[in-house]
Amino acid sequence: MSKRYDLIVFDWDGTVMDSTAVISGSIQAACRDLGLNVPDDETARHVIGLGLEQALRYAVPDLPVAMYPDLVVRYRYHFLSQDAAIPLFEGARETIAELHGAGYWLGVATGKNSNGLNRALDSSGLREYFHAMRTADVTFSKPNPAMLFELMDELGASAERTLMVGDTTHDLQMALNARVDAVAMGHGAHPPEQLRELNPLALVEDFAELRVWLKSYA
């Protein structure tokens, strides 16, 4: 059977790596350190996938501009203390390796910065499978479609033959803005009802379901 897609792009946090609780908890802990209003769990989870500054502006909207550097420092302190121990979702490694072996181009589009993604690729051992990456410090943050446009341009893939896999509405909106198909992962940061509102081709619960879907439709 011929392939429907040439390029499959994965979000990282909450999609490939089970980091949602660590990120949201680090945002909340950083706010406590500085005596700020602590965002609730829903708000802290909602910003996952955005660039860090954009995420903190949403999570702590009343924060004075002069305090952003302090909040970033405290966030990174809490996140980096746990970073190396964050696991991949079950089945992520096998699925990504299988797609690579089947000849798909694989990309990453993430709200992480370049240093953070490089650490994650090295600690997970997944670097060898990805052909191109875009992070929020080198181009526009989601839901701007720039990450997908740049990945497609670099790898020579058309929008019609590109698939985005992500766990947040930011991922799905980015795909819509780029006119790229998308599959939503239900095990990440945003609840299924929010993901369904953006009409992904499928909403799968985990990598086992994603592999079944990909074998049938990708």
CA–CA gap between residue 199 and residue 146 (Å, rounded):
21
Q: Is 173 exposed, middle or buried (0-12, 13-18, 19+ CB in 10 A)?
A: middle
pLDDT tens profile 115-164? 999 999 999 999 999 999 999 999 999 999 999 999 999 999 999 999 99
pLDDT of residue 1: 56
Residues 94 and 215 sit within 8 Å (Cβ to Cβ)? no
CA–CA gap between residue 100 and residue 5 (Å, rounded):
13
pLDDT band at 56 (very low <50, low <70, confident <90, very high): confident
Tell me what the mean pLDDT of segment 159-178 comes to: 98
Class of domain 7-19+86-217: alpha beta
CA–CA gap between residue 170 and residue 54 (Å, rounded):
12
Position 2 pLDDT exceeds 80: no
CA–CA gap between residue 170 and residue 188 (Å, rounded):
12
Q: Is 159 exposed, middle or buried (0-12, 13-18, 19+ CB in 10 A)?
A: middle
pLDDT of residue 204: 98
Q: Where are the domains of the chain?
A: 7-19+86-217, 20-84
CA–CA gap between residue 110 and residue 97 (Å, rounded):
19
Percent of the chain exceeding pLDDT 70 equals 100
Q: Which residue has the tokens 């949602």?
A: 20
What average pLDDT is seen over the chain? 95
pLDDT of residue 65: 87
Tell me what the mean pLDDT of segment 84-93 comes to: 95
Tell me what the mean pLDDT of segment 23-51 comes to: 94
7-19+86-217 and 20-84, same CATH topology: no
Tell me what the mean pLDDT of segment 15-35 comes to: 96
Q: Which residues are catalytic?
A: 11, 13
Class of domain 20-84: mainly alpha
Position 63 pLDDT exceeds 90: no
Tell me what the mean pLDDT of segment 156-178 comes to: 98
